[in-house]
Amino acid sequence: MVADILSGFDLGRHDRNKGFTLTELLIVISIVVLLLLLLLVNLRTQIKRANDSHRKADLNRIQKAFEEYVNDKRCYPPEGILDDCDSSTLSPFLERVPCDPVSRTPYLHVPGDSNLCGGYRVCAQLEDKNDPDIVRIGCHPDNGCGWGAGYNYCVSVGYGVTPDGYNPNVAPDATPTPTPSWNGPYACTPQGACNYYGDPEGPIFPQYGCPVSWSGTCPPGECAQQANRCAI
């Protein structure tokens, strides 16, 4: 009797109707993998944007602290004030100096070109190279703002975000190295700021790798060129 009942069913046809073919399974798996990849890319983008929002907020906090500093001291903080991040070097204006949320390294501080009291720039390295703020302020996603490759977002007071004459579309290492020309005590720091280095005839210029110097303040745009900057 059982055999008679089973004989009324086409078991092979039943399995084919209920299951999936190998091709169908491969299509489903491919779609799932593609959706997972899209989800992963979107997640990574959102994480980068969250980190960049943190960086921008940090720069705004530093900027506010600098303004309180100048109101109290009558001059902006000296170079290196941000180097010891997560410290209290800016206290009481800022309880802790912020670090980059991912690398835990300091943000870049570029003092005024010839006068600390004249202004400053503070820069960060944004992960999202498509952030419209990068181009809006005159910087390049990879070449940066003129203060070193990668530093593609800055806030500033007293000066423009980028050095005078800076071309964001020219890579920082595209300028040929000039023949050493030491004509005065002023030279460009590695960050692209003009600094008083002392006697150009003495040992300090070769020691610090200064390729060129000037008798007065550095001419506009010269410190924007990587090849004009001292090694130290």
Tokens of 211: 């390729």
Lowest model confidence (mean pLDDT) among 1-10, 23-32, 195-204, 206-215: 1-10
More confident position, 77 or 220: 77
Give the pLDDT band of residue 180 (cuts 50, 70, 90): low
pLDDT tens readout for residues 8-62:
444 444 455 556 788 888 888 888 888 888 888 778 888 999 999 999 999 999 9
Lowest model confidence (mean pLDDT) among 2-6, 117-121, 176-180: 2-6
Tokens of 130: 């498509």
Number of domains in the chain: 2
φ, ψ (nearest 5 deg) of residue 122: -130, 130
Lookup result for tokens 């500033």: 156
> Environment class of residue 143 by beta-carbon count within 10 Å: exposed (0-12), middle (13-18) or buried (19+)?
buried
Whether 6 is in a domain gets the answer no
Give the pLDDT band of residue 107 (cuts 50, 70, 90): very high
pLDDT tens readout for residues 117-144:
889 999 999 999 999 999 999 999 999 9
More confident position, 114 or 63: 63
pLDDT beyond 80 at 98: yes
Alpha helix (H) residue ranges in the chain: 2-6, 11-18, 22-73, 132-136, 204-207
Q: Identify whether the C-beta of residue 52 lies closer than 8 Å to the C-beta of residue 128.
A: yes
Whether 21 is in a domain gets the answer no
One domain, residues 121 and 72 = yes
Mean of pLDDT values over 168-182: 60
One domain, residues 44 and 137 = yes
Q: Identify whether the C-beta of residue 171 lies closer than 8 Å to the C-beta of residue 90.
A: no
Picking from 129, 157, 185, the residue at the C-terminal end of a domain is 157
Provide the percentage of residues in the chain whose pLDDT is more than 70.
80
Q: What is the pTM of this model?
A: 0.61
One domain, residues 47 and 149 = yes
Domain that holds residue 152: 38-157
Q: Identify whether the C-beta of residue 83 lies closer than 8 Å to the C-beta of residue 92.
A: no
One domain, residues 153 and 79 = yes
